[in-house]
Chain A
């Protein structure tokens, strides 16, 4: 279930990128769940045409997925095929982290790949020929010649693109509206799609739709060679397409088909899953660096680098087992890892909670990532408790989080050295704000007395915290917009007029925006920690 403030944030993001109409449609889908076109029209009270356009924009930007279901017709009627639309909440929130995705590519693959990724993020989906055209245009522009040299820009573009796909940063787009078979035929479908949908019973209709839409693993990262003439055609077609965030309908549909041949061109998009995986790994390493030590962080980073290629899903609990030799080879390639020997690596693996294998023959290690993520979450919540409720509450909260069971009030106050009546007050406050669960127990013998027991329910607390974080993220965004609106005139003035009082105001606004935006970026790390990792 998506949290209420998560929805508010998502809708706000859509409205700032694609305008109010899109936001309205998105809001409807997020709140009511999967809907048909007809349902969206009636609940948003927008015209059918408007809704259709909005859905197309949202689909193109990977915020909505369509799928069809076959509804059996009654009394001799034909079965009907009904198209449904579902909002992809995660993909909408990912918009917040585009700068982080771009940074990853820029660090790993360089400027040219970064440029291509940026286009893909900006436009949602592009075909390779469109990318090549853009590349050519960019290389013609003055000032950019340095990183787009020479005439062979089509080759260069293809080359950079291949590198992005090979690193799994870019993938083929999912099918536009896969047909979900009614339950009876599900089994065969499950077999065809392999292990991925083995647990088909437990999947919701939405999950099935996503699985059905996803390109086959063998196709997902497969680039076919592209003939030059098709590039040329695309060249003419797309020269007048403008870059911009609020791209509208007209240039959307032309993307999917090559008018000359009528053949469908393959569309590509950024592969969010890979980016989130990288960020998840980064977060684990960063946490270990602070909580354990530098050596352990280096070893973990190496292990994850190796594990990455064979990870089958995003939220794996344990890294894929790696042999000590492979880990060693990777460790010494890293900064700070050169001086490490096998003994030090083994010690670090031990620090990471890995158990040494019993037999020497097959010495492999796998790190418990789930535990690291859990620790990081606990730390985050603890620091919130400290800030909001003070040190004594912090101590009590930590006691409960370590105990992970019901603890009685007196026991809490004794162990944490908090005066009994203060302890009760603090516990009640935490309980009222949904940080704790409370249970009353009446004992009859030897004399009637009431005990109050307390406990942290991590699952529901995580959800609560996440909702507050979405709320806070929305607040940061709103405040940024508000600050900019207040100083609208200054922002519109030419730079050379900004002197004296105006100059100071401008500087203040700039600083305010930097603080707000960087806080949002940091907060977004926590959003991912609690939602995506």
Chain B
């Protein structure tokens, strides 16, 4: 859309109450910011698109923030850049790095808490679907502000850790309350997470050895002199 038609479109709209009393420049700036939806917009881009004097744009932005029509948001891509966004939007994942990032860093603490809680909930419910677990968390107010999509992602990672397993409901027995065929989760057979069996290769030094590719029968690194072996054989007794 060109600038002129954009302006025309604006004029045609019935001005809603919140935009009343804004000067023209503010309206233009607000429009630019709004058009970017949840992607946010970098100050320099606002200046380019609004086609108004840069100083005026700055002023408008500040006043719009004061009037609670737009907000400043952080971005993980570039922490030095200032981004703005209309208040009605939540920052997109590209800006925040996704729900699991807080202030541009992976929120490990939150993740750990959520994982442990989910594990407990599944332990109590025996089998549960994503929604089931999410509802439980919501009702008990255990963890605030977390969507069922987030719960799904957490569960998925726990499956990868082998601490829970994904199964399909058969509609029978423990599954009676869950529709047949829907995906649900249960605690893995072994209580501890991780693989159920440590394979024979993983239980000997060579299996975990970072130097196996340079180890030869009579070389500098060799099974005869290998310290990993010495340590392993000593610990056994």
A interface residue numbers (CB < 8 A to B): 8, 290-291, 379-384, 386-388, 391, 394-395, 398-399, 402, 414-420, 465, 468-469, 471-472, 474-476, 478-479, 482, 508, 511-512, 515-516, 519, 522-523, 525-526
Contact = CB atoms under 8 A, between A and B. Distances in A.
B207 A472 contact: yes
A465 B223 CA distance: 19
A138 B41 CA distance: 93
B236 A511 contact: yes
Contacts of A469: 201
A229 to B, nearest CB: 51
Interface of B: 98, 100, 105-106, 108, 111, 153, 156-157, 160-162, 189, 194-204, 206-210, 212, 215, 217, 222-224, 226, 229, 233, 236-237
Contacts, number: 122
A319 B233 CA distance: 42
Given A382-B195, A508-B237, A522 B203 contact: yes
Contact of A386 (B153, B202, B226): B202
Contacts of A471: 206, 212, 215
B47 to A, nearest CB: 20
Contacts of A479: 223-224, 226, 229
Contact of A417 (B106, B198, B207): B106
Nearest to B153: A415
Contact of A526 (B161, B199, B236): B199
Contacts of A516: 233
A290 B196 contact: yes
Given A469-B201, A474-B217, 15 more contacts: A379-B195, A380-B200, A386-B194, A386-B195, A398-B161, A398-B162, A414-B153, A419-B105, A472-B204, A482-B223, A519-B200, A523-B204, A525-B200, A526-B200, A526-B201
A179 to B, nearest CB: 40
B199 A384 contact: yes
* Most central of A379, A395, A479, A515 by chain B CB within 10 Å: A479
Nearest to B105: A419
A472 B206 contact: yes
7 contacts: A382-B195, A384-B207, A386-B195, A391-B161, A416-B157, A468-B212, A478-B217
Contact of A475 (B105, B203, B215): B215
Given A417-B106, A479-B223, A387 B198 contact: yes
Nearest to A5: B212
A387 B212 contact: no
Nearest to B217: A478
Nearest to B225: A482
Contacts of A381: 199
Given A291-B196, A508-B237, A472 B162 contact: no
A525 B198 CA distance: 13
A424 B160 CA distance: 18
B100 A417 contact: yes
A20 to B, nearest CB: 15
B157 A383 contact: no
B157 to A, nearest CB: 5
A512 B234 CA distance: 9
A380 B199 contact: yes
Nearest to A291: B196
B232 to A, nearest CB: 8
Given A384-B207, A388-B210, A415-B153, A512 B98 contact: no
A395 B160 contact: yes
A108 to B, nearest CB: 24
A264 B209 CA distance: 53
B233 A512 contact: yes
B161 A415 contact: no
A48 B194 CA distance: 57
A425 B232 CA distance: 29
Contacts of B198: 383, 387
A383 B202 contact: yes
Contacts of B160: 395, 398-399, 402, 415-416
Nearest to A400: B160
A469 B202 CA distance: 10
Nearest to B111: A417
Nearest to A419: B106
Nearest to A418: B106
B216 to A, nearest CB: 9
Contact of B199 (A291, A379, A512): A379
A356 to B, nearest CB: 13
Given A387-B207, A417-B100, A380 B106 contact: no
Contact of B223 (A8, A475, A515, A525): A475
B59 to A, nearest CB: 31
Contact of B201 (A384, A420, A512): A384
Contacts of A391: 161, 194
A8 B189 CA distance: 40
A519 B98 contact: no
B44 to A, nearest CB: 16
Nearest to A433: B213
Nearest to A516: B233
A469 B237 CA distance: 25
Contacts of B217: 8, 474, 478
Contacts of B153: 414-415
Nearest to B112: A417
Contacts of A419: 105-106
B195 A395 contact: no
Nearest to A397: B160
A457 B198 CA distance: 22
Contacts of B200: 380, 519, 522-523, 525-526
Contacts of B162: 398
